[in-house]
Chains A and B, each alone.
Chain A
Amino acid sequence: MQIPREILDEIALSEEEYLEIVRRLDREPNHVELGMFGALWSEHCGYKHSKLLLRNLPVESSRLMVNPGEENAGVVDIGDGLAIAMKIESHNHPSAVEPFQGAATGVGGIVRDIFAMGARPIALLNSLRFGPLEDVHNRHLFNGVVGGISWYGNCIGVPDVGGEVAFSDCYSGNPLVNAMCVGLLRSGDLVRARASGEGNILILVGSTTGRDGIHGASGLASRTFEEEREMRPTVQVGNAFMEKSLIEACLQIAAADLLVGMQDLGAAGMTSSVVEAAEKGGSGVVIDVSKVPTREQGMTPYEIMLSESQERMLLIVTPQNEKAVMDICTDWDLEAVVIGQVTDGDTITVMDGTNVEAYLPINILTDPPLYRTQSTIPDYMNTTRFLKESEVQLPTESPSSVLLRLLSSDNIASKEWIYRQYDHQVQTNTMQGPGGDAAVLRLKGTSKAIALATDTNGRYCYLDPLSGGAISVAEACRNLACVGAEPLAITDCLNFGNPERPDVYYQLESCVSGISDACKAFGIPVISGNVSLYNETRGTAIWPTPSIGALGLLEDAKLTTNTAFKDAGDIVILIGSNSLESGIESLSGSEYLEVIHNTIKGSPSIDLALETIVQDTCIKGIQAGIIKSAHDCSDGGLAVALAESCIAGNIGLVCDQGIKGRWDTALFGETQSRIVLSVSPDEIASFQELALSTGTPYVVLGIVGGERLIVNSLLNTNIAELSYVWQNAIAVHINS
């Protein structure tokens, strides 16, 4: 073979993969064909290193409307003739190169995945990771990403209702930008990404095609990159106004029942869009790139096939409906052209006028080799695994001082500085927006609401990928439980390093097992997702970070609550434990251990049986109107959860529970499966009955009231002071 190494490098294929292509085609591919293989056999499109593991994720649910992984997003039935489509996806590498456009187009891409299903996008969430804000480049990335999400989401009128942000050194230079979109549709209006029916036509609608984003999928998203600044031309530029018109036009076309199928153009552009639609439709396709409206003169077929220009959709339509579809596009001032048609074969033919530029069997393009790396336990785990009591000295500073330091840690501090830049109310469904445990959106015309949350803890996953994966799911569902919602399904975005390394592959394999274990415990499926590998800079991988997006349902939207303590005299109860005391192991991977002791050690763990009982009790208690507030204990442990409930309610708490043993583990330990509740004194008997019936351990902590958070002789701090520190930390760090 005479293929130069540089060409394979450019499209990120190995020599073995090239030889495999030649073997299967029984000839050498030409330049355009090789580019198409590079895109579709990339990790980003082909899931070469993850597909075998992803098959272990649970996908069973009576509510499922499409098979996970088969369509642009997962869809679950929520009754009343309605369904929810959702998916989370990464845009890490583009955001590292050009944070504003990288993040903006990440939002645009996930939104297209949702309305491609015929669903109205009703909510955005995100999960973000950055290096510490002390560093000027990290601040640049952070400001750019938040600005990009804000601009795009605000322009298209989809509320950004929640998310999470965390900071750690491992994300310096490799931020994580995971965007999630949720859509609502009538169950009968589901549209599939299928090109079928010989003679049906393919219509390309939306933006013109330019030279932006070529090799985005293969080059940028599927390998580590050291020379990041040279890669700026591979980042796409978004046009949110065009997206908004596309949403409306496409949903209008779908509602008029004019579609055979609909597919967005995302990673690998026209190549993946057309090939995947044909594969799902069991058909062949012929397209003519000379018909594609281009942004500049002289674009080659190769460039047109691989361009990742944004805001483009592919519609598959019968010839009879062509005019009706074109009329709607014209009404929205959108350019739409017929670029090809469905054939009865099993090949894709790419024409440039009368020249054949590519002719390939679809089943070879969509069937990349799958790899399983022999995994080995990462070396660091041999030392991080054991956390001894003698290694953690009780601080000399007071517990109140520790609490204030934790509340001003960027991982715990209020994220209002970020989310007040996002429109979280448009569409007037947002009953609870960002800042709580989970967002709550009412569904107009029904008595129902959905709850949404994203969660993961990279530090836990780094220390113990198996438990960390399970805890990520448990925390996301616990957030739903805290607003009274039953979990229905999750979507996941798996952010990892280079899977060809045995220790990274171990993290991936173990995290997926942990996610799977937790989903089985809750009886929920993973309905969609995305994998982002090769998140490394200079040979160092990020912490394994599986972002979990969770969907929950409230049958009665009125029966929900939030984290705020409400009224003086209410009784505060901790469920999930019958005492405040915790062992040293509760500090494993805790915020306290990192912030106060500069140590990242231990083995986080979770008891999934206890977790399901605790969540069940919380949900039942809220739905029965017994529980007035609920907030889970997560980063920063019990003391931070209590402080946040006091801040949210602007009211104090007096807790006179005695603590035997160490105060740091009791106040700041991160033992899982614990929720802080408040209950009116009139309902305490009902609560006790409920806890008894579900077998939930609990301990009464104290009484709501006053202006201070008092925990026996340990903590005694004014709520206004706690609030000020928590509220302003991020703004202070950004402007420092």
Chain B
Amino acid sequence: MKFGVIVFPGTWSDVDCHYAVKEVLGQEARYIWHKDEDISDIDCLIIPGGFSYGDYLRTGAIARFSPVMRQVEKFAADGGLVIGICNGFQILCESGLLPGVLIRNDHVQFRCEWVNLRVETIETPFTMSCDSGQVLSIPISHGEGNYYADNQVLDVLEKENRIVFRYCNEDGIVTEDSNPNGSLRNIAGIVNSKRNVLGMMPHPERCCESSLGGEDGKLLFESIVRAMQS
């Protein structure tokens, strides 16, 4: 299968994502420049982390107007798999593909550290290789990862089993202390109602090799590959 990694000016996890799926997982991958409009060869789109357009105005707010985003919207509507990581999650929210918004971390600092995530659902193409309730160790690196939505939206997400990851402690218990940014209900990642678009703040591409501290991120990309093959 073929991954497409979207590159905006200011994106910086593009190379990391490309390396993870191509060199570590051995899949095909190519970069997609934000001005490109042809993504017909792609099976799964990755919108990587970074500071697209400098994150001026609001994080992700300008990137949503890039030519490629029209194609992303179509691709998603047709059921294509899209994973937005960090800034990519912010862009998906800004463009309306996912509900809610990501605001400044409650402690107002940038935070780069390893966190624990509890897998809330394995009924997505992104988590089907995980165990339900499994605790993943994955790094975060953001200043604006504080997930916010009104209670109605949050209730719907819960009811429809669309919260994919929650920040938790190492025993898998969701606690206030384990929340690194103030996200409501400890949300770290969600899917859309069709379950083909995932947004998550942590960086799975940073933990696909043991020499970098862990391999839990690989589970997500392996899930995608499995989902595409099935």
A424 and B112 within 8 A (CB): yes
Among the listed stretches B48-56, B117-125, B157-165, which one makes contact with chain A, having 4 or more residues with CB under 8 Å of it? B48-56
| Of B16, B109, B143, the contact of A428 (CB 8 Å cutoff) | B16
Q: Which residues of B contact A430 (CB under 8 A)?
A: 212
B51 and A240 within 8 A (CB): yes
B211 and A442 within 8 A (CB): yes
**In the complex, how many angstroms separate the beta carbon of B15 from the nearest chain A beta carbon?**
7
Q: Which residues of A contact B141 (CB under 8 A)?
A: 154, 423, 425-426
Convert A553-568 into 0s and 1s, putting 1 for each residue whose CB lies closer than 8 angstroms to a CB of B: 0000110000000000
Interface centre among B20, B53, B110 (most CB of A within 10 A): B110
**In the complex, how many angstroms separate the beta carbon of A215 from the nearest chain B beta carbon?**
28
A154 and B53 within 8 A (CB): no
| Of A242, A244, A420, the contact of B113 (CB 8 Å cutoff) | A420
B148 at the interface (CB under 8 A from A): no
B30 at the interface (CB under 8 A from A): no
From known contacts A154-B143, A245-B9, A245-B10, infer whether A425 and B19 are also in contact, taking CB-CB under 8 Å: no
Q: Which residues of B contact A155 (CB under 8 A)?
A: 10, 51, 54-55
A421-B111 Cα distance, complex, nearest whole Å = 5
A412-B209 Cα distance, complex, nearest whole Å = 32
Q: Which residues of A contact B146 (CB under 8 A)?
A: none
* Minimum CB distance partner of B33 in chain A: A331
A430-B50 Cα distance, complex, nearest whole Å = 18
A244 and B16 within 8 A (CB): no
A124 at the interface (CB under 8 A from B): no
B112 and A423 within 8 A (CB): yes
Convert A140-181 into 0s and 1s, putting 1 for each residue whose CB lies closer than 8 angstroms to a CB of B: 000000000011001111000000000000000000000000
Q: Which residues of B contact A151 (CB under 8 A)?
A: 110
A155-B143 Cα distance, complex, nearest whole Å = 11
Which residues of A (646-676) have their CB < 8 Å from a CB of B?
none
Q: Which residues of A contact B199 (CB under 8 A)?
A: none
Q: Which residues of B contact A331 (CB under 8 A)?
A: 33, 35
A518-B207 Cα distance, complex, nearest whole Å = 39
**In the complex, how many angstroms separate the beta carbon of A617 from the nearest chain B beta carbon?**
25
Convert B36-69 into 0s and 1s, putting 1 for each residue whose CB lies closer than 8 angstroms to a CB of A: 0000000000000111011110000000000000
B19 and A423 within 8 A (CB): no
A258 at the interface (CB under 8 A from B): no
From known contacts A157-B50, A245-B10, infer whether A425 and B212 are also in contact, taking CB-CB under 8 Å: yes
B139 at the interface (CB under 8 A from A): yes
| Of B9, B15, B111, B209, the contact of A420 (CB 8 Å cutoff) | B111
A366 at the interface (CB under 8 A from B): no
B216 at the interface (CB under 8 A from A): no
A371 at the interface (CB under 8 A from B): no
A422 at the interface (CB under 8 A from B): yes
Q: Which residues of A contact B50 (CB under 8 A)?
A: 157, 244
A725 at the interface (CB under 8 A from B): no
**In the complex, how many angstroms separate the beta carbon of B69 from the nearest chain A beta carbon?**
16
Q: Which residues of B contact A380 (CB under 8 A)?
A: none
What would be 24 A-B contacts, judged by CB atoms less than 8 Å apart? A150-B109, A154-B112, A154-B141, A157-B13, A240-B54, A241-B10, A241-B51, A241-B53, A244-B10, A244-B12, A244-B50, A245-B9, A248-B9, A333-B9, A420-B112, A422-B112, A423-B141, A427-B16, A428-B19, A428-B20, A428-B205, A428-B212, A557-B211, A558-B211
Extra 8 A-B pairs, beta carbons < 8 Å, given A241-B54, A431-B212: A150-B110, A155-B10, A241-B9, A241-B10, A242-B54, A245-B9, A425-B139, A428-B16
Which residues of chain A have a CB within 8 Å of any CB of chain B?
Answer: 150-151, 154-157, 239-242, 244-245, 248, 331-333, 419-428, 430-431, 442, 444, 557-558
